[in-house]
Amino acid sequence: MKPVEIYDCTLRDGTQAEDFNLSVEDKIRIAQKLDELGIAYIEGGWPGSNPKDVEFFRAMKGVSLKQALLSAFGSTHNPKTQPEKDPNLKALLQAQTPVITIFGKSWDVHVRDALRISLESNLRIIEDSLALVRSKVSKLFYDAEHFFDGYQANPEYALATLRAATRSKVDCLVLCDTNGGTLPGRLASIIQAVKKEIKGTPLGIHAHNDCDCSVANVMAAVGCGIRHVQGTINGFGDRCGNANLCSIIPNLQLKLGLQTLNPDQLIKIRDISRFVDELANIRHNKYQPYVGDSAFSHKGGIHVSAVAKNPETYEHIRPELVGNVQRILVSDLAGKSNILSKAKGYGLDISSKDPVVSNILSQLKDLEHQGFQYEGAEGSFELLMNRALGARQQYFELEWYRVTVQKVREDQPPIVEASIIVKVKDQIEHTAALGNGPVNALDNALRKALLRFYPELSQVSLDDYKVRVLSSVEGTGAKVRVLIESGDREEKWGTVGVSTDILEASWQALVDSLIFKLYKEEKKRKT
């Protein structure tokens, strides 16, 4: 069976997403990652539209891609110029890419209202633009913009635009659902109609996600025989985004058995999903299928009990195939299976008949009733389990802390100082520190007091800090939950605190964060 060729648009169409920005260096690094993943074509940008894309294509001339072919993207020529004099087409050729993708108008509404030319003139523009570059590239693709809307409005003309493109011997006619409003059943019926009229030139699909059907539309197109698929990593794109390759590729390979990537490449898809998010400075979508942190997570006790016996009971594929892992969550929905599974993951040997399991479960449900949450605070939960097992060491004791906030000028930030006394191994340490706010000052003072005894704490960084008001009824007197994500050079961990006092909730989470690091180092020394 013919493999499906994947054409990635992240570096061009993806960058049209709100809050999604990439530097030239970012784009080069992503292109190299896409090449490693095994993507067939990488659309690098539109060199005729902005200086950044011109610079990118210039820089990519010195970058060797092992598998992927780089494509430059642009439009048909301006109706007011001749093809050979058109700046956009000149920029496409100057990019010197092995592939060029040109888009043109398929919808008569766009021809009349946007270009304001005759329908016949548009057909000539499509044919002449493609003919100019045909002999100068290895591959030439034509994106039929708004094709599905155009076909529904005027099927004869939409098909005529495709025939104009075929006269220039393009390698693929890409049917675009540019407005993202076509449903899968209708899309499939249009593709079947096109296949009856257009012979000899392969068809492709480019779908947007405005009615949340882009992935389904791609799957429907592939079901109709299309073997050229366009999309973006994580579905980034204009408005609601593009078809998400992080779902499409596993769907094609694992569900339909169609070749897209080698198995060794498929397991990298979660890594590249997170890599693109990181470079764009966007928080990972934990609920994303296949590659999200929650994609193979289990919370309910019945589910956990079942997957412990056979993962297929609640997992549609093995998570390792896409570079993900199974996660067992802990919450007030947890049963003994959750506790036993987490203990096994922590290297703790607990029998299901051990009364400590019921004790941990009881504590967990009581603490979550108070407002604690351990799904994002597994560091605190592991410490909770160790306390129940009597294995947690007391690394230090708090004698007292005091935080003062002094505002001296209206146009200046307040001065915040934290003083603290802790007891470590029968020694009293009294110190103080300034900070950018009470929590930061308290964190600085605590670390300052402990570093003499535990120098490994210098490796700990506070990476994220979240506050959630648990009930708005009490107003400023409501309980708050503080979640802290910390990390060192090896891993990250979450800790939690709950109180009506935000500083006290922060203190609880901070203490657990540092204790978890010390506990982790101690466990390492014992193994």
For 337, the domain range is 297-370
Contact of 202 with 222, CB cutoff 8 Å: no
Residues 239 and 269 in one domain: yes
Q: The domain spanning residue 504 has which CATH number?
A: 3.30.160.340
What per-residue confidence (pLDDT) applies to 298?
A: 80
Residues 207 and 353 in one domain: no
What per-residue confidence (pLDDT) applies to 60?
A: 96
Q: Does the residue 422 lie in any domain?
A: yes
Residues 216 and 340 in one domain: no
User: How does pLDDT run along the chain (527 residues), one tens digit per residue?
Assistant: 568 999 999 999 999 999 899 999 999 999 999 999 999 999 999 997 889 999 999 999 999 999 999 999 999 999 999 999 999 999 999 999 999 999 999 999 999 998 899 999 999 999 999 999 999 999 999 999 999 999 999 999 999 999 999 999 999 999 999 999 999 999 999 999 999 999 999 999 999 999 999 999 999 999 999 999 999 999 999 999 999 999 999 999 999 999 899 888 999 999 899 889 888 878 789 899 999 988 888 877 677 778 778 888 888 999 999 988 777 665 544 555 555 555 555 555 566 566 666 666 666 666 766 777 776 677 888 887 777 766 666 889 999 999 999 988 888 889 999 999 999 988 999 999 999 989 999 999 999 999 999 999 999 988 888 888 876 555 555 788 888 888 888 888 889 899 989 999 999 999 999 999 998 888 778 76
Listed residues 225, 249, 279: the one ending a domain? 279
Q: Does the residue 284 lie in any domain?
A: no
What per-residue confidence (pLDDT) applies to 307?
A: 78
Residues 198 and 233 in one domain: yes
Q: The domain spanning residue 185 has which CATH number?
A: 3.20.20.70
Say what the pTM is.
0.70
What per-residue confidence (pLDDT) applies to 475?
A: 54
Residues 363 and 377 in one domain: no
SS3 67: coil
- Tell me whether residue 132 is exposed, middle or buried, using C-beta atoms within 10 angstroms of its C-beta: 0 to 12, 13 to 18, 19 or more: buried
Q: Does the residue 492 lie in any domain?
A: yes
Q: Does the residue 434 lie in any domain?
A: yes
Residues 365 and 383 in one domain: no
Residues 129 and 184 in one domain: yes
Listed residues 252, 279, 306: the one ending a domain? 279
Q: The domain spanning residue 402 has which CATH number?
A: 3.30.160
What per-residue confidence (pLDDT) applies to 333?
A: 47
Sign of the dihedral defined by the CA atoms of residues 239, 240, 244, 246, in that order? positive
Residues 234 and 209 in one domain: yes
Residues 385 and 353 in one domain: no
What per-residue confidence (pLDDT) applies to 332?
A: 45
Burial 185-223 (b: 16+ CB within 10 A, else e): ebbbebbeebeeebeeebbbbbbbbbbebbbbbbbbbbe
Q: Does the residue 499 lie in any domain?
A: yes
Residues 68 and 130 in one domain: yes
What per-residue confidence (pLDDT) applies to 121?
A: 95
Residues 439 and 510 in one domain: no
Number of domains composing the chain: 4
Contact of 169 with 134, CB cutoff 8 Å: yes
Pairing outcome for strands 492-499 and 480-487:
antiparallel
Residues 115 and 216 in one domain: yes
